[in-house]
Each structure stands twice: as C-alpha cells, then as structure tokens.
Structure 1
Amino acid sequence: MSAKNERRRMRVEAERREEMEIATTTPRDPHDRTWGFFGVGALQAQLLRRPSRQAGVCYEIRGDLGNLRLFRSVSTRAGADLVVGYDQVAAKPAALWRLLRSLEDLRLPVRRRLEPFGALDGEVLEATVCGGVQAIARFTWKRGAAPDGWQPLAELVESSIAEFDALEIAHDEDSDA
C-alpha cells in the first residue's frame, strides 16, 4: 500500500472512531432514526423500559438478518427520555432473529379503546419495529396496563428485556461494533 493510501486509511479510521465516540457519548432521543455511526447497522427493533424513579434502558437489534447484534443504552437519569452509551451485548444472533420473527407473527389492534382512567406513574414499556426503510411501528404502554389485544406483545417485550438484562456486555475487539 502506498504511503498516500496508508495516510488516507488512517485518517478515515480516525474520523470513524471520532464519529463513533461522539455518537455513543452524546445523549440522544432513542426515537431519532437518523442517529448512528459507521458499522452500527440498520435498526430492526427497539425495546425500551422507562421506570419513573430509576434510569431506563434501551435495547436495539441492529444489522441485517445474517448479522444481527444487540446494543444497550441507558437513560441519562431517572425519568429522562434521553439515552446515552451504546454497548454491544453478548446476545446470540439466532435468538435475536427468533425474536424478530416472533414480532413479525404478532397481530395487534392498532387503535385502543378509550378508557375512563389512566395511570399517572409507573414503568413505561415500548416496542418499535422497523419494516424496511419507510415502515415503522411503535407501541407504548404502562407495565400491567397493556391495552386489550396487546398482551402477547407486552409479554414478549417484558420477557425479552429481562433476558437482555441478564446478558453481559460483549468485549469485542472489533472497533466497528
């Protein structure tokens, strides 16, 4: 490799490391679909848990179906909507693929019936599923108060988040993770 090409490669690597550092240390809105950095992959699904008096957690399944990875971000403080960080979690790609397939197979009513009461406090759960470039579905509910017809989604999200919470952060040597 020529010296000029080597300098260019090193400059591009340094720019990518800086881009990744900024992206992973700057608080962000987890709903911002423009967020990302080189090599993180396309968003397939996102699961959020936001307790009212503790820091929340955001899990994202990213990549293509042949190379799925799980990432974890945490709220900047209790009750905050913004998240920070982006740690890869040691999840098996086959398990992530099965979760995505389970989400594909769910049939949910989109509009919920109006209820004469509401919850003022509690843990908010959210599932976002991306179906290509233009399609996205986001479901948000309070733990224990999923609307009629959403119980299968609530159970799947709650069990998945519990499983993800038990996984370790991956210590991948690859700087693109």
Structure 2
Amino acid sequence: MSPKKERRQIPLESERRQEIELAVATPRDPHDMTWGFFGVGALQAQFIRRPSRQPCVCYEIRGDVGNLHLFRSLSTSAGADLVVGYDQIAAKPATLWRLLRKLEELQVPVRRPLEQFGVLDGVVLEATVCGGVQAIARFTWQRGAAPNGWQPLAEFVELSIEEFDALEVVNEERPHA
C-alpha cells in the first residue's frame, strides 16, 4: 500500500471505530431496523426475552448464509425497553443456518382470535424474522400463553434462547465485514 493511501486509511478506520463504539454504547430500541454499523451484517432473525422484573435480553442472528454470527444485547434495567451493547456469542454458523432453515419451515397463523384474558406479570417473548429488505414478520406473546397455532414457534424460540444463554461471549473486538 502506498504511503498516501495508508494515510487516508487511518482516518477512515478511526471513524469506523468511533461509529461502532457510539452504536454499541447508545441504548436503542431493538425494533429499530435501521440500527447497525459497517460490518455487523444484515439482520436475519431476532429473539427477545423480556421478563417483567429482570433485564431484557435480545439475540440477533446477522450476516449472510456463509457468514452468520450471533449477537446479544441487554436492557439497561428491569422493565426497560431499550437495549445496549452488542456482544458476539460463540455460536457455530452451521447451527445458526439450521435455526434459520427451521424458521423457514414453521407454519403459524398470522392472525389470532381475540382472547378473553391477559397476563399482567410474566415473560414476554418475541421473534422477528427478516426475509430480505422488504419482508419482516414479528410475533409477540406471553410465556405459557402462546396463541393457538403458535406453540411450535413459542417452543422453538424458548429453546433457542436457552441454548444461546449457555454460550460464551467471543473475545473479538467487533464483527468484521
């Protein structure tokens, strides 16, 4: 690399690092689909567990077929809707790919009938699945009270979150493009 090109590269890398640190350190709405930074990858799926009296955990599978990664963000406090941080979790890309394939095979009714009851205190679970730029589906339910027809999705999401909880944080600085 020429010295002139090298001098231009240093400020660009510094700007990217600042952009990443700002994005990671700033609390964000996990539903904000515009959030991201260079190299984090496209959102493929997101699983959220929001207990009423504990911090929320948000897992995101990002990247493309050959380069999938799992990330975890946590809420700032119990009951808070905003999450902060972005730790890469030690999940095998092949395992993440199988999870995405399973989501493609699940069939659940989109609309459910109105229910006569509600849950006041419990754990809210959520699954968001992205299918390209324009197709996004988000399902939200209370643990133990998934609507009729959503039980396969509820079981899949709960098992996935339990497996993700058991994985360790990868000691990498940040994801790379």
TM-score (structure 1 length as normaliser): 0.97
Aligned residue number for residue 93 of structure 2: 93
| 1:82 counterpart residue number | 82
Q: 1:83 to 1:2 in 2, by over 3 A?
A: same
Letter in 2 for 1:171: N
What is the SS of the residue equivalent to 1:68? Answer: strand
Q: Distance in 2 between matches of 1:93 and 1:157?
A: 18
Cα 1:125–1:77 shift into 2, 3 Å: same
Q: Does 1:71 align with 2:99?
A: no
Partner of 1:103: 103
Report whether the alignment pairs 1:57 with 2:57. Answer: yes
Question: Structure 2 stretches of 5 or more lacking a match?
Answer: none
Report how far residue 172 of structure 1 moved. 2.3
Q: Which 4+ runs in 1 deviate beyond 4 A? A: none
Q: Write out per-residue CA displacement over residues 64-104 of structure 1, whole angstroms, 9 at most, x where no aligned residue.
A: 01100000000011011100000000000011000000100
- What are the residue-to-residue correspondences of 1:8-19 with 2, within 5 Å? 8-19=8-19
Shift of 1:175: 5.8
| 1:45 equivalenced with 2:37 (yes/no) | no
2:144 maps to 144
Judge conservation of contact 2:44–2:131 (CA < 8 Å) in 1: yes
- The residue that corresponds to 1:132 in the other structure is 132
Residues 42 and 63, structure 2, Cα contact 8 Å, conserved in 1: yes
1:169 deviation in Å?
A: 0.1
SS at match of 2:61: strand
Question: 1:94, 1:131 → 2: CA distance?
Answer: 19
Other-structure match for 1:161: 161
The one-letter code matched in structure 2 to 1:169 is V
TM value normalised by structure 2: 0.97
Please state how far the C-alpha of 1:176 moved relative to its aligned partner: 2.7
Structure 2 residue aligned with 1:29? 29
- Give the match's secondary structure for 1:47: strand
Count of aligned residue pairs for this structure pair: 177
Alpha-carbon shift at residue 13 of structure 1 (Å): 0.5
Q: Which whole-Å CA distance do the structure 1 matches of 2:125 and 2:173 have between them?
A: 32
2:54 is matched by which residue type in structure 1?
Answer: Q
1:107 alignment partner, SS class: coil
Superposition deviation, residue 173 in structure 1: 5.5
Q: CA deviation at 1:115?
A: 1.1
Q: Deviations over 1:116-169 (max 9, x none)?
A: 111111100000000000000000000000000000000000000000000000
Rounded to whole Å, the distance in 2 between the matches of 1:98 and 1:176 is 22
RMSD value, Cα: 1.1
CA distance in structure 2 between the partners assigned to 1:55 and 1:173 by the alignment:
24
